Amino acid sequence: MRDEIKDYEAVAAAAEKFVRSVAEGDSRHARTLFTDDAVLFGMLDGELEHGSIERFYHNVDTVGAGENFKARVDVLAVEETVAVVRVLEEKWGGRIDFTDFLLLLKLNGEWKCVAKAYNQNSNTMAPNIC
């Protein structure tokens, strides 16, 4: 059974916490979205980045989004207690374009992110990386 539109809107609102943190360069909003044991996986400038979501918080808090930063949230699926969200980011830190995939679970009636996996567009890697 397909979930109701209000459920998709709730998932999108949860994912906006992620976007707000990145846009503001302040992890406090994202910290309310991710579970304490959430994980991170992706390639940043050609190097594997993985482990605790604390790495993401560190990146957000130390690299400002930049004035040209843009983001878009797409809710790809909602199935009762699990949701998948794609976040497109352009010009993070003034340079990097990302596609993030967030895996959310409905825990105690609230959408929480348990995993973040991302791709950095190859044309935005630091020079001499490609």
52: region left, alpha or beta (phi > 0 left; psi from -120 to 50 alpha):
beta
d(CA 20, CA 126): 25
**Domains in the chain: boundaries:** 5-124
In this prediction, residue 24 has a pLDDT band, given cuts at 50, 70 and 90, of very high
pLDDT at 119 over 70: yes
d(CA 94, CA 97): 9
Mean pLDDT value of segment 3-17: 93
What DSSP designation does 27 have? T
pLDDT at 105 over 60: yes
Right CATH for 5-124 from 3.40.50.12280, 2.60.40.420, 3.30.420.40, 3.10.450.50: 3.10.450.50
pLDDT at 89 over 60: yes
